[in-house]
């Protein structure tokens, strides 16, 4: 079946541009939606069947002298990433049917159709490549196609610069990643991943460090990790919103895939150091990302910065897993890996939803994406408001949505550091756990602001006042992602065993029992779950639903020793039922106490002013200003202008301050490197005296130095 489905996927991807080339430009949005959705369904079928079965698909292609055979290989890691890719591309394709209509007559939709489907095909080819050559050919194609799609509105110079920055940084990361693969290959003729796995064991300690650093920072560019994430706040806002959803929901995952493919599969990390670097860098990325997202008033840039935050959480989880694995704690390593992959999948879903919501606002609110100028959209765009609220609650880690489960599991895995022997590593875990907890708190602030200031209150601009609901294709696609946010949040006990399939070959044991006790199936108990232990939880209701639902149970729990039998436990499934009952009960009580009282609507009081006007309402900037003040030492904005004007003789003058943010990474890393480069360039410039004799002397000196090095070597 796999042999048929894979070619069918690529045929469908190629059919989209061919059909679009024949039809008029205005028909291309519908073509993109249809062929993109069909391709996604084929991919979901293919990857889902492999993911659930745990089988590996290997298909040799042709021999490429002098490297060896090119190979297609789909294992459990590939299947997971392919499945997430399909989950994002399916609703984004449907969304494009309505969203891309705004470009008719402005830009070529046939070109967009071609680039969109080729990008889809290149991403899948990266994930199924089983050798270095095929992997990097597909990687380069993906990078170029991302540049073309980010630069789709090429008449805007700022968007063109954003696309070029993304491409330049991507190429630098690609070179580093290629060097990592070359170091593993070590001159061997076979470039297949299977051959690299067998040869990697011969590498020494220094070579292993080199492979890790090159792969981590090389692929970290695509994953959007600090300090190589500068392209994200520019590329995401510059691209069409459907492409922004793909950049954050699919392309960033490719960076994680590259890191995992090398450091978990081809050359598994066997010592603690790399895991510590990943844990620290992931935490720093998460904290810095959300710090810059929270005060941001541009919705697109806010979502871009929050992508850095979520990729940081994923990397921190992977780092914790590598530390546990290197310290002889395979069960805890498996839990941390599951939390990381779960969070990566969740981020793809809710960030895709939020970018599609931002795209709907772009289309229907006159292109306004400044949250200070929005407001009141819940009355104009009720369905978009509902789905955006779902995405905001998910990314803020609020139960019963998916972000809560993966963030909770990540923090719980960090809290298990007590089993480690090194006090220094324990301190790092504690500090990183505190950093991620602060990140989660700031995420709540950030997305309360995003929804409240954009959708509630009153309209603060003509664009917001004249907004209308999005097309059905756009609302349906957002509804699909919103439903996934809820399902992944209330049914994690069905997701965790699937993630366990992915991590099991690398921690060499299943950890499903460590997280999802089989309360539905063990009734009388077994060696791992004694009868007394099981009966206690049955008395608490852990078996409710056993006769109606398949699976092991609905409780996530990690067991400890006899003195501490339960280390952590929760059940989003039962919690959502209780939440519904509590809310329903509160509603009934309120209705009973207010029975017979008439609801009276009156104008809002505003300091004696007859009518509340938009200029005196709360804005996104005002809401997030406390965060800006508290973390001023990190932001350190530059004041460009500070004009003052007198309002009245009895009042103080009005102050209008225009500030420019200088990103922390640019200030601490970019500017010093730039100044150092300028200093070296100025020194070298002094050598250009215009004297032929001086230039001849330079050549002779260079030859002598090269000869001396050669003789010494």
pLDDT tens readout for residues 408-422: 999 999 999 888 888
Mean pLDDT in residue range 64-89: 88
pLDDT over 90 (residue 15)? yes
Residues 6+ apart with CB under 8 A from 435: 283, 284, 286, 287
Residue 280 half-sphere exposure toward CB, CA atoms < 13 A: 10
Question: Angle 28-53/109-128 helices, nearest 10 degrees?
Answer: 10
What span, in angstroms and rounded, lies between the C-alpha atoms of 142 and 101?
25
Contact criterion met (CB below 8 Å) for 640 and 660 = yes
Q: Can you give 467-523 as a three-state secondary structure string?
A: CCCCCHHHHHHHHHHHHHHHHHHHCHHHHHHHHHHHHHHHHCCCCHHHHCCCCCCCC
Share of the chain above pLDDT 70, in %: 92
Q: Is the pLDDT of residue 156 over 80?
A: yes
Q: At 74, is the secondary structure helix, strand, or coil? A: strand
Q: Write the DSSP assignment of 137-169 as a string of letters.
A: HHHHHHHHHHHHHHTSSTT-HHHHHHHHHHHHH
CA–CA gap between residue 620 and residue 449 (Å, rounded)? 6
**Tokens at residue 202, please?**
């011969």
Q: Average pLDDT over the chain, rounded to whole? A: 87
Q: In the predicted model, is pLDDT for residue 643 greater than 80?
A: no
Q: At what angle do helices 492-507 and 76-99 cross, to 10 degrees?
A: 140
Q: What is the 3-state secondary structure (H, E, C) of 328-395?
A: CCHHHHHHHHHHHHHHHHHHHHHHHHHHHHHHHHHHHCCCCCEHHHCCCHHHHCHHHHHHHHHHHHHH
Q: Residue 258: what pLDDT?
A: 95
Tokens at residue 130, please? 């089983």
Please, which residues have CB within 8 angstroms of residue 501's CB and are 6 or more apart in sequence?
51, 52, 54, 76
d(CA 289, CA 327) in angstroms, rounded, equals: 30
Distance between CA atoms of 295 and 291, rounded to whole angstroms? 7
Q: Which helix (H) or strand (E) holds 197?
A: helix 193-200
Please give the Cα distance from 320 to 323 (Å, whole number): 5
β-pairing verdict for 658-660 and 68-74: unpaired
What confidence tens digit (pLDDT) does each residue in 526-557 have?
677 777 777 778 777 888 888 888 888 888 88
Contact (Cβ atoms closer than 8 angstroms) between residue 89 and residue 40: yes
Q: What pLDDT, on the 0 to 100 scale, is given for residue 407?
A: 94
Say what the pLDDT of residue 13 is. 92
For 122, 376, 397, 489, 586, the CA distances from 386, given in Å and listed in that order, are: 34, 13, 17, 17, 22
The predicted structure's pLDDT at residue 524? 60
Preceding amide of 576 cis, omega within 30: no
Taking the C-alpha atoms of residue 158 and residue 175, their distance in angstroms, rounded to an integer, is 26
Cα gap 170→221, rounded to integer Å: 6
What pLDDT score does 149 carry? 94
Structure confidence at residue 373 (pLDDT): 87
Q: Is the pTM of this model over 0.75?
A: yes
């Amino acid at each position: 079946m796999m042999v048929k489905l894979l070619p069918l996927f690529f045929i469908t991807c190629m059919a989209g541009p061919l059909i679009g080339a024949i039809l008029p430009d205005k028909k291309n949005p519908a073509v993109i939606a249809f062929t993109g959705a069909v391709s996604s369904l084929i991919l979901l079928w293919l990857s889902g069947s492999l993911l659930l079965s745990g089988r590996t698909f290997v298909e040799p292609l042709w021999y490429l002298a002098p490297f060896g055979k090119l190979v297609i290989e789909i294992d459990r890691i590939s299947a997971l990433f392919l499945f997430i890719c399909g989950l994002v591309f399916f609703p984004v394709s449907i969304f494009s049917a309505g969203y891309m209509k705004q470009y008719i007559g402005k830009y070529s939709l046939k070109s967009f159709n071609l680039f969109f489907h080729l990008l889809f095909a290149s991403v899948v080819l990266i994930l199924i490549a089983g050798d270095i050559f095929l992997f990097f050919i597909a990687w380069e194609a993906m990078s170029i196609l991302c540049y073309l799609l980010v630069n789709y509105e090429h008449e805007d110079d700022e968007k063109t610069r954003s696309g070029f920055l993304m491409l330049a940084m991507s190429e630098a990361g690609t070179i580093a990643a290629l060097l990592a693969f070359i170091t593993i290959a070590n001159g061997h003729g076979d470039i297949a991943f299977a051959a690299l796995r067998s040869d990697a064991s011969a590498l020494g300690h220094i070579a292993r460090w080199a492979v890790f650093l090159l792969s981590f920072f090389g692929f970290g560019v695509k994953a959007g990790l600090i300090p190589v994430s500068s392209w994200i706040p520019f590329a995401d806002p510059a691209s069409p919103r459907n492409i922004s959803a793909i950049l954050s929901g699919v392309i960033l995952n490719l960076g994680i895939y590259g890191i995992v493919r090398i450091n978990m599969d081809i050359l598994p990390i066997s010592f603690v150091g790399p895991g510590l670097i990943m844990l620290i860098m992931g935490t720093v990325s998460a904290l810095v990302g959300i710090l810059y997202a929270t005060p941001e008033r541009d919705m697109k840039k806010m979502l871009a910065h929050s992508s850095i935050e979520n990729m940081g959480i994923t990397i921190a989880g992977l780092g914790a897993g590598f530390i546990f694995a290197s310290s002889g704690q395979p069960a805890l390593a498996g839990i941390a890996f599951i939390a990381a992959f779960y969070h990566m999948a969740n981020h793809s879903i809710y960030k895709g939803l939020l970018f599609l919501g931002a795209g709907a606002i772009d289309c229907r609110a006159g292109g306004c994406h400044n949250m200070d100028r929005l407001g009141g959209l819940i009355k104009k765009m009720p369905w978009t408001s509902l789905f955006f609220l779902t995405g905001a609650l998910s990314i803020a880690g609020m139960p019963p949505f998916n972000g809560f489960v993966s963030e909770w599991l990540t923090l719980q895995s960090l809290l298990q550091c007590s089993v480690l022997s090194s006090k220094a590593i324990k301190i790092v875990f504690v500090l990183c756990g505190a950093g991620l907890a602060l990140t989660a708190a700031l995420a709540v602030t950030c997305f309360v602001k995003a929804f409240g200031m954009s959708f509630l209150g009153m309209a603060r601009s003509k664009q917001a006042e004249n907004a209308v609901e999005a097309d059905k294709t756009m609302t349906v696609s957002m509804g699909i992602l919103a439903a996934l946010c809820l399902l992944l949040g209330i049914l994690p006990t069905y997701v965790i065993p699937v993630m366990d399939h992915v991590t099991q070959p690398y921690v060499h044991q299943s950890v499903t029992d460590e997280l999802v006790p089989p309360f539905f199936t063990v009734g009388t108990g077994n060696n791992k779950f004694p009868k007394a232990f099981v009966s206690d939880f049955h008395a608490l209701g852990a078996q409710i639903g056993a006769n109606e639902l398949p699976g092991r149970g609905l409780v996530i729990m990690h067991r400890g020793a006899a003195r501490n039998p339960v280390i952590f436990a929760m059940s989003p499934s039962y919690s959502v039922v209780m939440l519904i009952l509590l809310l329903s009960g509160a509603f009934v009580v309120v209705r009973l106490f207010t029975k017979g009282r008439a609801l009276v609507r009156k104008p809002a009081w505003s300091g004696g002013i007859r009518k509340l006007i938009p200029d005196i309402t709360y804005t996104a900037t005002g809401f997030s200003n406390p965060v800006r003040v508290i973390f001023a030492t990190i932001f350190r904005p530059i004041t460009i202008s500070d004009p003052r004007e007198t309002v009245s003789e009895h009042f103080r003058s009005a102050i209008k301050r225009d500030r420019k943010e200088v990103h922390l990474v640019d200030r601490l890393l970019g500017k010093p490197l730039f100044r150092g480069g300028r200093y070296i360039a100025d020194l070298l410039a002094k050598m250009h005296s215009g004297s032929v004799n001086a230039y001849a002397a330079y050549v002779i000196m260079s030859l002598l130095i090269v000869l001396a090095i050669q003789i010494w070597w």
